[in-house]
Chains A and B, each alone.
Chain A
Amino acid sequence: MFYRENGQFKTSYAADQEIFTITQDKWFVWGLIAFAALAVPMLVDEYMFRAILIPFLVLSLAALGVNLLVGYCGQITLGAGAFMAIGAYAAYNFMVRIDGMPLIVAMLLGGVSAAAFGIVFGIPSLRVRGLYLAVATLAAQFLCDWAFLRIGWFTNNSSSGSVSVAKLEVLGWIIDSPVEKYLFCLAFVVLFAFIAKNLTRAAIGRQWMAIRDMDVAAEVIGIRPMFAKLSAFAVSSFFVGVAGALWGFVHLGSWEPAAFSVDRSFQLLFMVIIGGMGSVMGSFFGAAFIVILPIFLNQFLPFLGSLFGVTVSTAGVSHAEFIIFGSLIIFFLIVEPHGLARLWSIAKQKLRLWPFPH
């Protein structure tokens, strides 16, 4: 009744090509961004920022990057954690080795470094696909794990192997409180989400999807597979690299190579699969599911137990958390193999007609 496109006529192709073709969608998303930027800082406490919101934002950005490659271009990667690490360490080195390097420039350069490595590790995709490509990208992961642990230069020869960033400052704005960190991440995520949306509705995005859906036909209409695949690897790695820099600089503050282990790669890939491949929105759903649900279960299970007069031990809670989390993943994949984003679009489709059946 409230959500429908009736009466919204497009009079130009520009209007018809907008990101949100339905006015209500536009209001909803801008409202959500305004809520996240203005209301959330007043509503939640520090713990929420540290433990939930900042990790959620940064991992959404990384998942978005992985989604560009896996969901839009149809290539598979198990090296996302490595590209996060490259982004973080490269940004760190730019900060440490160049005096007066601005924070944002360093982080973007971290992304650029990750993009360069993404192109190199994307080269196997020109010959192999599917599981074989997954194994090839896994090599990136092991190489980076090893390099950042063993080569002292990357960590500025720190004795403990961990690196830390002293002060985050952007144009005189010192980012130290959780709220400021949260807003800093939010700005990045909103900006990159729009960039991702623009890319996927432009010529380059169509090239990626063409390669994904039918590579022979794509080549016959003039798409160069090499350019399409490597550009997808580059853009994806850029996003993931910037997310890695955010993860290290803003979320962790100081970190070791273990922060970007193969677990992280798998986690990001699962976010994309559960959230919805080939959907910008899905990356956020996936990140929310994987970041927030375990924490929610952790808090909720003792409460549930107390309702029935059962005291659940801490170990019991963490075991139950894994069991429930795992079964929910399976449940969602059976109910909707195309991810949470598809459920979302089905809900929107239904809402357009509501309350009428047809």
Chain B
Amino acid sequence: MEKAIAPFEFRQCASILKATGEKAKNLRELREIIARVSDEAIFHHTYQYFLKGHIYQYTNDFAQWAGESLEEEALAEHLSVIDPYEFKTMEDLRGALLAVIDRYLEDFPEPREAMSGDEFHFNETITLIFPVGIRAKNLAEFLMAIKYVDAGSIYYHFYEARVRLGGGIDDFSAWIETSLDKKDLAEKVRAIDPFMHSIEEIRKHIIEVVEKEARRDMEVV
């Protein structure tokens, strides 16, 4: 008898924004607040950047603000290279952000101020996770579902999962490898760079690799 495949249950997350009341108008204030603000605020301004649709120029809110509001583009580039998924704890990530800012402040001790009204506001989020009522039992159903679900669901399984699972692993590739036993396909999904695409582009790339595999399976039959 064939082994029963555990279905993939699609879930989704939505966040509500909470103000911390902290705001920075220049780089020194930003540094000082990053050093003491909650882990949740650091999490929001880095990991959750992609939930916004990734239509901005950089890869986290701090870099975006440095580039757009302070016009310190070199700093924005340095901050953009920080990969939050490389760090085991939020403290390590916080340390990496501070190290980049400190290095920049050594070279340019008097960076400019943001215009009034354009300060950096530190926020946190409360995240609600819910099932979307879609279940895939095989690759063909998975392909249908991935085309259908909201971007918030792709975010939850592709980005948020990396924090939950660690090691650069997302829910999709984990299921493809363990439940469908398709290691090569899982590797292809894992090879999609989360930083270089919007959620919709991620969706497109997943569809591309999964469709190719599903077609091959069908042709063998």
The answer to whether A and B interact is no
Residues of A in contact with B (beta carbons under 8 Å apart): none
Residues of B in contact with A (beta carbons under 8 Å apart): none
